[in-house]
Amino acid sequence: MAEDRSVSIEVVYRGIFQKTLAQRICRSVVLAARKRGHTGTAFARYGDSPERNGVPAKQFAVVAADELELEASMAKYEPSVVDVSIAVDDTLVKGVESWAWYGRQPIWKPVRANGWLLVTSDKKPDEVLAQTDAAERPYTLGIVPGGASFAGLWVYKDDHTDFRVLGALARILPQWIALDDAKAASLELAKGDQSAVASVQYGYDSTAMRPVKPGEGTSGHEVLQFTKPGWTTMRPGIIVDARKPGERNPYYKKYGARTMRPVVNFDTCIKCTMCWLDCPDECFEVTPEGHYEVVYEACIGCGICAQVCPVKDCIVMVDELKFTDNTDKWQLWKQDHATYNAWFEDMSGVSADPKKGTKGSVPPNANPAANPATSAGGDE
């Protein structure tokens, strides 16, 4: 941050589902900072931000020492460099593709050297880092305890994610957000509910910090970067490129919208076509044997296929962070049933043999968003 005269914070969230949460985080940052005599503002990325189901989008909070410094910080509408990036869903660490012409970008791309990446997650820092693009500069990864807070559309689930994040920010930015001010802001926003104060303290105390050195992370993610043509190089007229059946956009893959993905038990598939018919993104391909294979590059993880499949546990939705690539799996099943079925069982927690049922005691389609802050009295 330039001479400690201002600080920029971005919140990366899942379009529509976490919009209110992102707004509340940014609003709480500005309110807490103002209690210390600073000034600030909060805003969304653009008016035409792609607020579609699951597609990453951004909100920002900028806090400055005075109005003049704030005006200087706002010279460019969207900060190209931020001090803190907050991902309110840990699957976002696999990359952000919120604008088709940007391609997939590392979650830490706008974070300055020695800045912070805060991620709400119930996983350990090393587990999250393992799915984050290899760092090009040092930063600190902070894991704010709690699962991704999804409410659905415009309904807000008040589970105090915003207050835990505010507590974590007070810990890393005490010169801008004092802990007492964060608690006072949370109490005001929660209309006097003291549990909000406990959640701020919990985020302050329990956020796990992990310094990240250049080179740490994964190099396994697909690189999707290209240059949008300028007006002088655009082709004239209205042109629609013809594509062959089954051919998909080579740049915009859509999987950045995904928090879970389906895995298929081909042994129990009855070839009913329901997944193929109902998939809104046409991401199923028909195999020579008549099974239906998921094309993971095109899948947004909506879960409709698992909902409409008439065979129990034939299609199971699995946490996206369990996967390290987008390789389609039917060929593996075709070549080696035993290896594929072992993979299916490991990923889904369900036996590939329908007579044996679910492995373990946790339903595979359950969302493990149990909130550790409950013990602190902060959440529902």
Lookup result for tokens 């997650």? 121
Please write the tens of the pLDDT for every residue from 102-118.
Answer: 678 899 999 999 999 99
What is the token pair recorded at 165? 């994040």
pLDDT at 98: 61
pLDDT at 54: 81
For residue 113, the one-letter residue type is: A
Do residues 207 and 182 touch, judged by C-beta distance below 8 A? no
Which uninterrupted H or E stretch holds 343? helix 337-348
Specify the pTM: 0.83
DSSP string, 220-279: -SPP---PPPPTTTSPSS-------TT---SS---GGG-SEEEEE-TTT-----HHHHH-
The phi and psi torsions of 82 (rounded to 5 degrees) equal -125, 155
End-to-end CA distance of the chain: 36
Number of other residues whose CB lies within 10 A of the CB of residue 376: 20
pLDDT lower than 70: segments of the chain = 1-3, 46-52, 68-78, 98-102, 150-156, 225-229, 234-246, 251-252, 357-380
pLDDT at 255: 85
Domain boundaries, the chain: 2-226, 235-380
Would you call 55 exposed, middle or buried from its count of C-beta atoms within 10 A (0-12, 13-18, 19+)?
A: buried
| Architecture of the CATH domain 235-380 | 2-Layer Sandwich (3.30)
The verdict on domain 2-226 having CATH code 3.40.920.10 is: yes
pLDDT at 100: 53
